[in-house]
Amino acid sequence: MNRNLASALVIASTAAAAVALAALSPANAYADDITIESTPFKGSRSRAEVLAELQGQAAVVRTGATEWSLQSNRPLKRQSVQTSEQARTEYKASRDYVRALNAEDSGSAYFIKSTPRDRSNPGATMGGPAR
């Protein structure tokens, strides 16, 4: 029973606050009027001059078109220098390496077995004895 009373009081106080805010706000809220420009625009160059300049800068126009197309979500067509068979072979060859790196020791045993050590400079190997 107490919970119902508490929730009813919260709802009533929220409603009262909303009504008070509505009463305090101004009655009419209008957006500003549209400003109509009375002086007509007069360009300093003719249409032919603008077209001639645009045609003279074709590289700049193409760059803008490229930026626009890069912003779209279309997938890009890319050419690969590697065949799918080469990718499969490379993946199969790297399986042991990936399995070792994901092992419990994070590949430490794999690197100890596979990395040739420089016996003349033991400090060059990580974890080697201190000098």
Q: Can you give the pTM of this predicted structure? A: 0.27
* pLDDT tens for the chain, residues 1 to 131: 566 777 888 888 998 888 887 777 766 766 777 778 788 888 899 889 988 888 888 777 776 666 666 666 666 677 888 899 999 999 888 888 888 888 888 878 877 777 666 666 655 555 555 55
Backbone φ and ψ for 36, nearest 5 degrees, come out as -100, 120
Pair 108, 100: CB distance under 8 Å: no
Domain ranges for the chain, please list them: 88-118
Amino acid at 57: Q
How many angstroms separate the CA atoms of 123 and 129, rounded?
6
CA dist 52 and 58 (Å) reads: 10
Rounded to 5 degrees, φ, ψ at 20 are -65, -40
